[in-house]
Structure 1
Amino acid sequence: MAGVVELISYPVKGCAGTSVAEAVVTRAGLAHDRSFMVVSDEGVYRTQRRDPRLAVIRPDLTPDGRRLTLRAPGHDELTLDVDSSGPRRPVDLFGAPFTGIDQGDAVAAWLTGVLGAPSRLVRVPPEHDRVVAGRTPGASGYADSSALHLMSRATLAALNERLAARGAAPLPMSRFRPNVVVDGWSEPHTEDRAERLTIGDAELAYAKLAIRCAVTLVDQERGARSGPEPLRTLATYRRAAQGGVALGAKFSVLRTGKVSVGDDVTVEEWTESEL
């Protein structure tokens, strides 16, 4: 039986994740996941693709979402009361217009100091209504696409075997920034074929393959790019029909509810892989 071995939430888009023992799955994914975003002064989203030092920023959000603490090496920690009702400002996410609630000058100055570029922090407003396309469309906060990213240990192990054959070092799961890590599937890429599955009280439906980008080149501990892997090796066996290379899968939420590390992952319906 496959089961959940890790749950990771990323309160601030692009910043470090936090492993949790349990979480509530909302329509937009794990509660508070990607509910904050770092933007330029002009409101354009920041990403590890261009700002790899985002990876060294470690957010700690209280369960009620009201207080956020940020930590980064060489900088004093900063704690702020989250503003969830202030004025909205326009923000740009992959060229699409949304709005965000600016969290103030103190955190803006802190982020600017860590990243070395003028930056501000915005929060998803309560009325945020973003639907992401996929085989099963679904809601999403400031995530790149769908609500939940799921990846199995078998999938990572298969990649690391290929890396080893090329003389490259193995990569940790953190390079791929999943929300749900599954163990117990004997075959790699089983997540690609899970059309509908249940975990704890939640029910998920397959949305799309996880197309990998330059974020996977970033060493998540150092906040710096580290060579051509895994994209170079993935290009030899995981090319997707729509372009790019794929590893892991994205899911939309059909039924909300509590999930926990140790929960069984039960596939209710299987399909053919898109790859």
Structure 2
Amino acid sequence: MPELPEVEVSRLGISPHIEGQKITAVQVLNGQLRWPVPVSVHNVEQQRLQRVERRAKYLLLKTPVGSLILHLGMSGKLRVVPVNTPRVKHDHIEIVFESGQCLRLNDPRRFGALLFADDDLSAHPLLANLGPEPLSQYFTADQLYQRSRGKTQAIKTFIMDNHNVVGVGNIYANESLFKAGIHPKRAAGKVSLARYQRLVPIIKQVLAEAIRVGGTTLKDFTQVDGSPGYFAQQLQVYGRGGKQCMVCKTRLKEIRLGQRTTVYCPSCQR
């Protein structure tokens, strides 16, 4: 599933090709995605795409009359191609531009989404209750520490909760907690401020590095140009359950936590 770095890589990949372009058509080839694609997505036709932004895992395609909200779901991929490029199986959405290029959403599992919002995006039901962006100045150790007080929830699921901070998906939560030396099952309310002061910069570092190298290719993520992300080559715990810790050589343990695969070092993480 594309996580925040993969979505940001997609934003960086498509933006230079479509920002400033007039949208001539929105072709809905299959409207049965996570939510039915509303007719209102056609409101952006004949409007100029001002910019492409990201909030959590949502891409926001902003125009003077409102914004398209695009989500990649479990398996969605974006391509910018000439409009006459033959379509392939699972191409569900096509946004056509005056340049002769189009943005295509290919989504085999159809958990992605395309919606339209004509008012304040910060009040939109999908966006209103989201926590701070992890790479922003608003995500701080003090903020996370205060939110964690009294919480018995495991620290791993706590930092994966979008109400606390957005976009720290499973892969990056595993990696960040390992680098910070924090056991993933430790109660968030039992983690000290000093340990949050170590964890927060590590989360920022891990996500920034993943974006820099193009995301993490596991099963089905590729960049907009079709090339793979390379962060998987830097993973220290995720996907390595039962193997030796790269730091201390202890055998890594793999468990299920919050219904997600969790890998940690019982020696390095306390």
TM-score with structure 1 setting the length: 0.27
Higher strand share: 1
- 1 or 2 for the larger relative contact order (CA 8 Å, sep ≥6)? 1
Higher helix share: 2
TM-score with structure 2 setting the length: 0.27
